[in-house]
Amino acid sequence: MLDLDRQDELRGAIELLYFAYRGFTDRPDRILERRGLGRVHHRILHFIGSRPDISVRGLLDLLAVSKQALNAPLRQLVEMHLVTALPAAGDRRVKNLRLTPEGERLEAELTGVQARHLQTAFDRAGPAAEQGWRTVMTELAELAKG
C-alpha cells in the first residue's frame, strides 16, 4: 500500500501522462479524422512504416492485439490503398505488409508532427530530462509486458 503523499504524487503523474498523451495525439488524430481513420490506424501505419514487410503475425505480436482487433482496421487501410499485403516469398500463406507511397506520405506526416512535438519538449527539458524520460518509458513498456 502506498502512503498518502506518494499516492497523491503518483495521481499527479498519471494526470500528466494523460494530458501529455492527449497533446501528443491531438493533431495526428485530427489529420486521421479527415480520412475517417483513428488512432488504431495510426499505430498500424507507424509500425508497418518502421518495419516494412512485417508479417501480419508479426504485427499482431508487436501490437499485442487479437486477429479480430486488427482485421477491420488493417482491411480498411488496404482498401484505402495505404497498405499492401503481399504473399511472402518463402511461404505464400504468410502476408507481408508494406506502406504504399500514399501510406508512406500519411505516416511521414503523422510521425513528423509527433517528432516535432517530442523534439520541442526534449529541447526545453534538456538532455538529462530526455534520458530520464526514455528510462521511465522503457520501464513502463517492460512492466506492460507483464
**CB neighbour list of residue 129: distance below 8 Å, 6 or more residues apart:** 122
CA distances from 31 to 25, 38, 124 (A): 10, 9, 26
Mean predicted confidence (pLDDT) in 107-112: 97
The rounded distance, in Å, linking the Cα atoms of 100 and 78 is: 9
Pick from 48, 46, 28: nearest CA to 37: 28
**Domains of the chain and CATH, by start:** 13-145 (1.10.10.10)
Q: Which pLDDT band holds residue 89 (cuts at 50, 70, 90)?
A: confident
Q: What is the pLDDT of residue 144?
A: 87
Q: What is the pLDDT of residue 3?
A: 78
Mean predicted confidence (pLDDT) in 135-143: 94
DSSP code at position 54: E
pLDDT higher at 4 or 79: 79
Pick from 46, 20, 21, 40: nearest CA to 109: 46
Q: What is the pLDDT of residue 46?
A: 97
pLDDT higher at 78 or 3: 78
**pLDDT by residue (tens digit) across 35-60?**
999 999 999 999 999 999 999 999 99
CA quadruple 97, 62, 42, 68: dihedral sign: positive
Pick from 142, 145, 143, 140: nearest CA to 21: 140
The rounded distance, in Å, linking the Cα atoms of 109 and 14 is: 28
H helix intervals, 34-126: 39-50, 56-63, 67-79, 101-125
Mean pLDDT of the chain, nearest integer: 94
